[in-house]
């Protein structure tokens, strides 16, 4: 469903998101001096409604609440915000390395916005006063591919299979009965022999 074009004040910072940002994460710093950001300054008081609160502040629809995350850097002791982005979210370490000092200097809660909110078309998202873009970070992709086999036996192609494919060596029902009866007769003979030796 297309979003209506927002009215953007001339002084507002805007994010332009597109389909190519689908796997990216935008890090937004919260200004603790801005009254509109007061609900985000005590994430524990949001009582599980952080996504809903942040989505409302950003003007996102309720079904996009899962695309935002509120992170308190104080909760990331030992790993830090940069470490959380790399290890927790799988974002590209080389892209974050240049901003590591700036990311680690953030002390107020931080909003993480996934680029999936754009959907399949470009979207302009005005940032409310008190939120500013720190950076856009993409994911690390491990290229998946099959290397050609190097053995000489691996060259060429297999000829197509002609005729029906072979099935398992299953016996027909009459043969199954013959084998069962034969097995029982053998067991009976062994039992008779054991009794006669006693």
- pLDDT, one tens digit per residue, over 115-161 is 888 888 888 888 888 898 999 998 865 555 555 555 555 555 656 66
Is 158 a member of any domain? Answer: no
- For residue 80, the enclosing domain spans 13-137
Is 5 a member of any domain? Answer: no
Task: Average the pLDDT over 85-93 and give the result.
Answer: 89
Coil, helix or strand for 162?
A: coil
Is 154 a member of any domain? Answer: no
CA distances from 45 to 35, 106, 121 (A): 16, 20, 35
Question: For the chain, how many helices (H) and strands (E)?
Answer: 5, 6
Is 80 a member of any domain? Answer: yes
DSSP code for 91: B
Is 102 a member of any domain? Answer: yes
pTM over 0.85: no
Question: How much of the chain exceeds pLDDT 70, in percent?
Answer: 76
Residue 121 tokens, joined: 């078309």
CB 97 within 8 A of CB 86: no
Give the alpha-carbon dihedral of 34, 38, 41, 44, to 10 degrees. -170
* CB-based contacts of 68, cutoff 8 Å, min separation 6: 51, 54, 55, 58, 60, 111, 112, 113, 114, 117
Half-sphere exposure (Cβ direction) of 194: Cα atoms closer than 13 Å: 6
Is 40 a member of any domain? Answer: yes
Coil, helix or strand for 129?
A: coil
* Number of domains composing the chain: 1
Is 168 a member of any domain? Answer: no
Is 159 a member of any domain? Answer: no
pLDDT value, residue 11: 45
Closest-CA residue to 118 (of 182, 24, 29): 24
pLDDT value, residue 74: 85
Coil, helix or strand for 75?
A: helix
pLDDT value, residue 59: 86
């Amino acid at each position: 469903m297309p979003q209506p074009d927002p009215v953007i004040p001339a002084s507002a910072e805007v994010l332009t998101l597109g389909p190519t940002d689908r796997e990216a994460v935008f890090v937004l710093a919260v200004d603790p001096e801005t009254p509109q950001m007061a609900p985000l300054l005590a994430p524990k008081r949001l009582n599980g409604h952080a996504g809903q609160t942040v989505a409302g502040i950003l003007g996102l629809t309720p079904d996009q609440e899962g695309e935002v995350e509120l992170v308190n850097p104080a909760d990331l002791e030992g790993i830090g915000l940069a470490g959380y982005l790399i290890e927790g979210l799988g974002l590209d370490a080389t892209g974050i390395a240049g901003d590591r000092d700036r990311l680690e200097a953030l002390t107020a809660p931080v909003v993480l916005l996934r680029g999936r909110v754009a959907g399949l078309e470009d979207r302009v998202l005005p940032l409310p006063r008190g939120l500013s873009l720190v950076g856009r970070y993409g994911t690390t992709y491990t290229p998946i591919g099959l290397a050609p086999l190097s053995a000489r036996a691996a060259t060429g192609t297999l000829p197509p299979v002609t005729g029906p494919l072979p099935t398992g060596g299953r016996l027909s029902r009459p043969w199954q009965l013959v084998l069962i009866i034969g097995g029982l007769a053998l067991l009976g003979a062994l039992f008779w022999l054991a009794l006669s030796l006693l």
